Amino acid sequence: MRIPKAIRALIESFEKLPGIGPKTAQRLTYYLLHVPQTELEDFAESLSSLKKDTLVCSVCKNVAEGNPCPICTDRNRDESMVMVVEQPLNILAIERTGKYRGVYHVLHGSINPLDNIGPDELYIDDLLKRMKGSDGKGVKEVIIATNPTMEGEATAMYLAKKLKIGNGKLKITRLGMGMPTGADLDYADEATITQAIEGRRVI
């Protein structure tokens, strides 16, 4: 049996999403056949307006409704601290803690030679320029919060080197590493325990 064209087209669209395989794409599509047309229209509308109704902030490269973004325009934020993250989604994770009052810079990825993503494909030059500009003069600390993966670490090393060349006095830090809250030593991997020992603190 040939699958109807309308169904095949939607399956193909779902398959392009990360982590969605052919079986899941089929399941989601056939599920949507039982959903009211108005709900499908809402879904379609939010897809096509996703990029039309959002902007990349010219200062920090976060994705927002306005430019500059609400964080960059917020006068209560401490502009002497800049936290560098890989993705806009990472900002949400940091903001949920409520413990950070500085500003951000979003790279939109990490250096990954296997995927042909070098420093030029990321907003790294924009960060270096931002540090050199009038805004950058007041920056005392850059916190590099790329993910603790191979690519995130490589990006952090690259950034630290470049930032130090630009300004020798700049304090450059990396998010603390070690045991996550609620974990069990028995199940922690060697790399995490090694980091926890190296990063031990006086109590």
- Verify binding: residue 17, a copy of itself, rule CB under 8 A: yes
- Verify binding: residue 117, a copy of itself, rule CB under 8 A: no
CA dist list (Å): 50 to 42, 89, 93, 106, 182 = 12, 15, 21, 19, 36
Among 82, 102, 103, 108, binds a copy of itself (CB under 8 A): 108
- Cβ proximity to a copy of itself: between 1 and 202 the closer is 1
**Position 166: which residue type?**
G
- Verify binding: residue 42, a copy of itself, rule CB under 8 A: yes
Among 21, 22, 51, 161, binds a copy of itself (CB under 8 A): 51
- Cβ proximity to a copy of itself: between 104 and 158 the closer is 104
- Verify binding: residue 21, a copy of itself, rule CB under 8 A: no
- Verify binding: residue 191, a copy of itself, rule CB under 8 A: no
Indicate the SS3 state at residue 138: helix
Among 22, 61, 68, 91, binds a copy of itself (CB under 8 A): 91
Among 21, 22, 33, 118, binds a copy of itself (CB under 8 A): 33
- Verify binding: residue 16, a copy of itself, rule CB under 8 A: yes
Residue 77: its H or E element: none
| Residue 38 buriedness (CB in 10 A; 0-12 / 13-18 / 19+) | exposed
Indicate the SS3 state at residue 123: coil
CA–CA separation, 122 and 85 (whole Å):
11
